[in-house]
Amino acid sequence: MLLGSVILVLQETLEAALLVSVLMMISYQLWNRVAWLLIGIGGGLVLSYLYSSNMVEVSEWFDYVGQEIVNAGLQVLTAFFIVVCTWAAYKSQRRGSVARQTQTSPFASLFVFCAAAAVALAITREGSEILLYLGGFLQQQEYFRTIMVGSSIGFSIGLSIGILLYYGLSNLPVKWRLDAAVILMALFAGNMLAQSVLQLTQADWIPSSRSFWDTSHWLPEGSILGQLLYALVGYEATPSAAQLVAYTTGVLLVLAFRAAGKHPKR
């Protein structure tokens, strides 16, 4: 039970922690601005509590597949905000160092709004799962301490990996930092859309299909490495063709908006 709580909370924490790290690095490097993070985290915590508290009612929506539909919607919106963040960051960088350092730049404002929204949505989705998991053990005193210890370990590991990623990106040569961060954001966007397809498949809104491949024997998704790769690059041991299409779409959207922001129209 201890190991199970570590893995579950790590899985839910890691994805949000990595996204926060990348967005915070971009914001700090371009505008020296990270106050938006408090808004994103605070809003996400409030929304995750409200979402988990009303999960019974939400689950009854859309003919009892409400949770899957809402989660899919949160993931699509997160991917959308990631794409806009990419465009805003490159538009600001192209305008030069003075524009990048201007706190009132319209691109800075757009970025911090979308970054705060992406973080809030990610925490809403992941935080609600943690709250539901912990809530199931509130009345079981014999297990609660073990669950809390395991959850704390999982949260600490996820947070530590996020911090390491932030400093790792920050210590890259300046000319590589934004590109490296955007590559990760492309993978995050692809992961979000692939997850949304999985949720909609579970809700029978998208027809199910055979797995495109199966690597579960080599690298199970439930392993620590599998969870890390899942959060970082969207690793899936048994993806469907629809998930692969969605993943590729997310990656290409971020790269397309990167190009649109980096190169002026002729």
How much is the pLDDT for 264?
57
Between 163 and 28, the higher pLDDT residue: 163
Report pLDDT digits (tens) over 188-242. Answer: 999 999 999 999 999 999 998 888 888 888 888 777 787 777 777 778 888 899 9
How much is the pLDDT for 265?
55
- Mean of the pLDDT values across residues 99-118? 78
Residues 6+ apart with CB under 8 A from 173: none
- Mean of the pLDDT values across residues 47-76? 96
Domain architecture of the chain: domains with CATH: 2-262 (1.20.1250)
How much is the pLDDT for 81?
97
Spatial separation of the C-alpha atoms in residues 202 and 129, rounded to whole Å = 17
Residues 6+ apart with CB under 8 A from 235: 219, 221, 226, 229
What is the average pLDDT score of the chain? 88
Q: Say if residues 59 and 204 touch (Cβ distance below 8 Å).
A: no
Query: Of 91-100, 157-166, 184-193, where does mean pLDDT reach its minimum?
Result: 91-100
How much is the pLDDT for 103?
52
* pLDDT band with cut points at 50, 70 and 90 for residue 91: confident
* pLDDT band with cut points at 50, 70 and 90 for residue 145: confident
Top-confidence range, 42-46, 100-104, 170-174, 212-216? 42-46
DSSP the chain: -HHHHHHHHHHHHHHHHHHHHHHHHHHHHHHS--THHHHHHHHHHHHHHHHHHTHHHHHTHHHHTHHHHHHHHHHHHHHHHHHHHHHHHHHHHHT-HHHHT-TT-HHHHHHHHHHHHHHHHHHHHHHHHHHHHHHTTTT-HHHHHHHHHHHHHHHHHHHHHHHHHHHHHHTS-HHHHHHHHHHHHHHHHHHHHHHHHHHHHHTTSS----BS---TTTS-TTSHHHHHHHHHH---SS-BHHHHHHHHHHHHHHHHHHHHHHS---
Residue 263 has pLDDT above 90, yes or no: no
Percent of the chain whose pLDDT exceeds 90 = 58
Report pLDDT digits (tens) over 7-33. Answer: 888 888 988 999 999 999 999 888 877
Between 137 and 102, the higher pLDDT residue: 137
How much is the pLDDT for 97?
46
